[in-house]
Structure 1
Amino acid sequence: MAGQYELSETCGANSTCQNGSCVPDGAVCAPGVTRCVSATQYETCSADGGGYGGRVQCGGDEVCENGQCVSGCNSVIGEKSNIGCQYVSMRLNQANGIRAQGHSVVVSNPGNEVVTVNVTSPGVSNLNMPPQSINPQQSTILNFPVSPMIGEAGVSNQIYVINTSKPVIATQFAPLNNPGVGSETSDASLLLPTNALGNEHIVLNWPGPPSMGDIPFPMPGLGAADTYIDVVAIHDNTSIQVSGPVALSGGSAGSMAANSSQTFSASRHQVLHLSATSGGFGSSANTDLSGTVVTSNQPVAVFVGATLVNIPDAPVASSPATGCVSSGVSCSLNAECCSGICGNDLESGSLKCMDSLKAGDHIEQQLFPTESWGTSYVATPFYSRGVNDFAVYKVTAARNNTVIAIDPPVNGLSSITLNRGQVRQLHAPHAFELEASDAIMVAQFMIGGQTSTLEMGDPAFLLPPAVQQFRDDYVFLVPDQYAMNFVTLIAPTGVDIELDGATVAASTFTPVGGNSAWSYKLVESLAGGVHRASADQPFGVVVHGIDDYISYAFSGGIILPD
């Protein structure tokens, strides 16, 4: 997307554009603009543009660059990617009653020197997380307190800031290990460093359910199903504009009506929690935040998720077969059901047609800024739990009239056209390619464990990397308590991959699409711990794991194209 600019503001009659900001006539600077006054200090232009003041000292291991405090080691990074020196993390909201474990961040050192990791928080008192050292090619696990959790709509500063002495990789798990009946909540997300954040994000997410099976939701001990957007400001005087189809509560910070827009404010290291809460059993309230646009005057980190979701939560068959059977009737294959879903009935232990899969799970992801999106994607399936397993995908576009070719066709579609922020849902058990005329983002969702009698896995949320975001080497960690961990390697056809020192031969990969330019390999039985993958050409890595009604998924790493 290099070289693409759009008109964002027209200056008024009594102001002129200076360095990308509208400056009032007679003023010396644009109100709210910052500048560095030393290597470790910045100041801000006053509200009337009369001059700079309010000098701010950067943190102990930060420096001032372009009027902003950044991690001191960011200057040695030559690219925007998931590798960086400063990250923000927080305990994203999960359903009440299954919150017994805090979240964790796995920090991996891909370099050849020892790295020091420091964790601070502007709002969490009595934080006891001493500095840690990470040896080359190794990882450490940062285990955070169970509380606080970002669950109340509004602005707070209960986040964590991770600073490192040299570039690292960070992945968030919520929690890291949580297998076992009665503990069915988990997900994971690749974290982006603060030097790779952006000013515009478009949301892809899944709505929380108004019911969980035949049990009204909210229910005692679980609370309302909260679908949310969390926006973290990295700099002072951050203005956040949100527009979208769903009503959002920002608590004391304000609210937004459906099909409208609202502007919110946040200071450095504050998080704005915007919530769309289900109205309970039988409610028709829309809580799908997909298509919501978040823009800001300063780079921000945007996280999305839901306390509990059912996937799929409605029939998926767009053109049911003639003679298909209704929900509750015995089945063997999805195609026999008018809903397109043949799942495991938990009461009878047999397969029946269903309108949705009821086993629920928490989901979360940090979004990629639109400026970093790509135009080519290779969608690959999760581990198959049976003949009726499939993945659900959501696709959105950054600009109007974006044409997307699908190869092989999915749900009878060989192409779709999307406008900016418009969302299209697809589902498929097989791999396919997406080739777009402009930038798009793809979300992939694992469906519930009721898909088979194995009762393994549950909803998980993944942002697969675009081809333009592929790297040529990766370091990642998988949990050690899940029954099954997997890594999917996506490579140009004919390219071998080195995984943990062993060659994964190109001849073992499965081609994708009609031109077979790309192939993929699902590597099973991946041991818990640190892994490294590399090749002589850029390739993609996607990681996921499953256990008894629980799962996680995350991208192994990305480069963010400018």
Structure 2
Amino acid sequence: MGNDRPNYAHYLTFAAAAVLSPFVVACSGGSSCERGGRCVDTADSDVTSLTATDSVTSTSGGATSATGQGNTSQGSDSATGATTATSVTTGPPKFDLPPEPPPPDMGEKGPIIPETCAQAEAGESTVGCLFYAVDLDSHDLAENLPYAVAVANVQLAQDAEVLIEQKVGGAWQTVAGPQTVGALQLATFQLPDKHANKSQLLAGGAYRVSSTVPVIAYQFNPVDGQSSYLSDASMLYPAPTLDTINRVTGLIGLVDNTNTNLYAYATLVGTQDGTQVEVTPLAATQAGPGIPAGSPNTPFNITLNEGDVANIAVAQLGTSISGLKANSTAPIAVFSGHECALIPNPTCCCDHTEEQLAGVRLWGTNFIASRLPMRNPGNPEAVFWQIQASEDGTQVTLTADPNVTGLPPSPINLNAGQVVEFNATGPAGAPGDFAVASNKPINVVGYMIGSEACCGSTGDPAMVQMSPIEQYLPRYVVLVPGTWINDYLVITRPEGAPITIDGAPVNDGDFLPVPGTGYEVGRISIPDGVHVLDGGNTPFSVVVVGFDAYDSYAYLGGTGTGIINPNPPG
């Protein structure tokens, strides 16, 4: 993850999806492929009070607040004012972390879409050759439904050979593939159930996804949206983009309308054998096989080998997984999930939520919080938002059209690990998009709310981490899955920027401005399949969203992964 990045780029222009062609085992650019997707260059060789001692700024107009040790009201419509945060005395990690990497060389043409696995090792975007996927814990009613990994080949003229492995008895074994995926084609792999339940260390619990050329990977849990009612999805971050300093943003444990206890959790995945992980929760966490009970602000240690999964669930209903820290001696993959979340709690209906989270070194300071598509366009429903600080003394300022409602007053003062939560909406002409600026790196997460809070039987909670403006890319190849009835691309672009979808210019009339920012947001209905979005040399963002009866999904279509926060506090 250093700055010795090769001088390369391919800028995607529209091409019709290629017919699957015979596979050729080779990497481009004079490099040869090894198993595992690696290429060798043969030519060159509410306000949630969490960790700090200061109080969070009081909120109004739909903001929420809670007191102490990770408690949160999770999207409640009431505001209760300022709260007092708890103190933390954990200090630095008890083991040496790797050296801090230097800032990225983003070049003059924006982040890169790599053409070879050797290039992907530079770790500048979510296009890569090696990923770790996890069948995350869901509602018990959905555990037997098909979990799937989908792989989109972003290359214009290269086939990808995709292999999925699982670890059995300490050795990786093929579970799917090798399968040839043609240029601008996709493949979906339904995989056996391997979920960890509540708190549990599951040896070899992850799937290893590898490709011989750079691809984008997503996971769907479950993949059948029309029959499950309990779906979500996540974009997967390639292994070279993972971090050793991670914080979790997430939800609370709760009881659903069937009187079932449902828990929020963090999932940690090892990518190297012998990785030591120091976990510091902000609320008590459950003990389970291989996982000790966690106490607020008290570190505990676990060891992960490559492919091991540590699931860490909150111990008490009404407490949040937000603020959990995971510092490690080697990069790990980190997911935030919920078995079945109610947003707002206790409004029906619950839905599984999940998201792979960017490490803290990838967090930014400038965001456009682009609301999810309106299910009730004449009277737009709220979107539930969380903003989390990585450092003490963080000041956050929100900017929006004056007709947007529910935003807490600025500035919002946060310390490390603290989260502010609120519900934002507005009229059809200003339905709730807003800008976020901070003096220190933050994380911004949006959630679709439950169907019966707004929309009859349409949609239910889904979770997506927003990309900082600093990480926008100039082009994307995205997968819009089948089986959901309504699918949208949420595109955030500089005002008037020429963006094409599959070679056709977007309709400027589909976009609404975010005043005072120079950005605008469009929510564009899109058919199933693989789509190429091209902004020329202009970076922009895309979120893929879908919903139907009592179900939904949302995920980033991709993001840059330049190290814009090289020296975060441990």
What TM-score comes out, normalization by structure 1 length? 0.75
User: What's the C-alpha RMSD, in Å, of the aligned pairs?
Assistant: 2.5
Matched, 1:259 2:292: no
Which one of 395, 411, 415 corresponds to residue 411 of structure 2?
415
Farther-moved stretch of structure 1 (447-456 vs 424-433): 447-456
Matching residue of 1:478: 480
Question: Per-residue displacement from partner, 1:478-536 (whole Å, max 9, x unpaired)?
Answer: 122211001111000121210122101445421103x1410011102x11111111112
Farther-moved stretch of structure 1 (151-160 vs 417-426): 151-160
Q: 2-side partners of 1:101 and 1:507: how far apart?
A: 40
Q: Structure 1 residues 476, 242: CA separation in 2 closer, same or farther (over 3 Å shift)?
A: same
Matched, 1:192 2:237: yes
Kindly name which structure, 1 or 2, has the bigger radius of gyration based on alpha carbons: 1
Matched, 1:270 2:308: yes
Q: 1-side partners of 2:35 and 2:503: how far apart?
A: 40
- SS for the counterpart of 1:195 is helix
Question: Per-residue displacement from partner, 1:231-287 (whole Å, max 9, x unpaired)?
Answer: 111112211111122112352332211232212111222111112245xxxxxx443
Q: 1-side partners of 2:182 and 2:173: how far apart?
A: 28
State the shift of 1:186 in Å. 0.3
Q: 2-side partners of 1:388 and 1:506: how far apart?
A: 21
- SS for the counterpart of 1:75 is helix
Q: 2-side partners of 1:253 and 1:411: how far apart?
A: 38
Matching residue of 1:405: 397
- SS for the counterpart of 1:257 is coil
What pairs up with 1:267-346 in 2 under 5 angstroms? 267-278=305-316, 285-313=317-345
Number of residue pairs the alignment of both structures matches = 443
Q: 2-side partners of 1:300 and 1:310: how far apart?
A: 29
- SS for the counterpart of 1:260 is coil
Q: 2-side partners of 1:162 and 1:128: how far apart?
A: 10
Q: 1-side partners of 2:551 and 2:247: how far apart?
A: 27
Q: 2-side partners of 1:467 and 1:505: how far apart?
A: 22
Which one of 118, 122, 125 corresponds to residue 81 of structure 1?
125
State the shift of 1:148 in Å. 2.2
Q: 2-side partners of 1:163 and 1:233: how far apart?
A: 16
Matched, 1:138 2:185: yes
What pairs up with 1:25-424 in 2 under 5 angstroms? 62=38, 74-77=117-120, 78-111=122-155, 112-123=157-168, 128-145=175-192, 147-151=193-197, 153-156=199-202, 157-180=204-227, 183-209=228-254, 211-213=255-257, 215-218=258-261, 225-251=262-288, 252-278=290-316, 285-313=317-345, 356-386=346-376, 387=379, 389-408=381-400, 410-424=406-420
State the shift of 1:176 in Å. 2.0
Matching residue of 2:14: none
Cα contact 1:186–1:362 (8 A) shared by 2: yes
User: After TM superposition, where is structure 1 displaced by more than 6 Å over at least 4 residues in a row?
Assistant: 63-66
Cα contact 1:497–1:505 (8 A) shared by 2: no
Q: Structure 1 residues 2, 491: CA separation in 2 closer, same or farther (over 3 Å shift)?
A: farther
Cα contact 1:227–1:277 (8 A) shared by 2: no
Q: Which has the higher strand share?
A: 1
- SS for the counterpart of 2:252 is coil
- SS for the counterpart of 2:253 is coil
Q: 2-side partners of 1:114 and 1:532: how far apart?
A: 17
Q: Structure 1 residues 107, 509: CA separation in 2 closer, same or farther (over 3 Å shift)?
A: same
Matching residue of 1:527: 527
Q: 1-side partners of 2:492 and 2:240: how far apart?
A: 27
Question: Per-residue displacement from partner, 1:292-339 (whole Å, max 9, x unpaired)?
Answer: 1111111000111011110011xxxxxxxxxxxxxxxxxxxxxxxxxx
Unaligned runs of 5+ in 2: 4-33, 46-97, 99-114, 426-431, 564-570
Q: Could you tell me which amino acid in structure 2 is paired with residue 532 of structure 1? A: V
State the shift of 1:100 in Å. 3.1
Cα contact 1:230–1:303 (8 A) shared by 2: yes
Cα contact 1:512–1:519 (8 A) shared by 2: yes
Matching residue of 1:541: 542
Question: Per-residue displacement from partner, 1:83-134 (whole Å, max 9, x unpaired)?
Answer: 1100011211111122232211111111121110111111399864231011
Matching residue of 1:550: 551
Cα contact 1:208–1:308 (8 A) shared by 2: no
- SS for the counterpart of 1:532 is strand
State the shift of 1:415 in Å. 2.2
Q: Percent identity?
A: 26
State the shift of 1:170 in Å. 0.5
Question: Per-residue displacement from partner, 1:185-213 (whole Å, max 9, x unpaired)?
Answer: 0001110010110011111111231x223
- SS for the counterpart of 2:249 is coil
Matching residue of 2:512: 510
What TM-score comes out, normalization by structure 2 length? 0.74
Q: With CA pairs under 8 Å and 6+ residues apart, which has the higher RCO, 1 or 2?
A: 2
Matching residue of 2:443: 441
Matching residue of 2:456: 454
State the shift of 1:539 in Å. 0.2
Cα contact 1:121–1:127 (8 A) shared by 2: yes
Q: 2-side partners of 1:259 and 1:123: how far apart?
A: 35
Q: Structure 1 residues 415, 99: CA separation in 2 closer, same or farther (over 3 Å shift)?
A: same
Q: 1-side partners of 2:442 and 2:168: how far apart?
A: 36
Question: Per-residue displacement from partner, 1:349-404 (whole Å, max 9, x unpaired)?
Answer: xxxxxxx4121011111110000111111111222223261101000111111111
Q: Could you tell me which amino acid in structure 2 is paired with residue 288 of structure 1? A: S
- SS for the counterpart of 1:468 is helix
Matched, 1:494 2:496: yes
Matching residue of 2:58: none
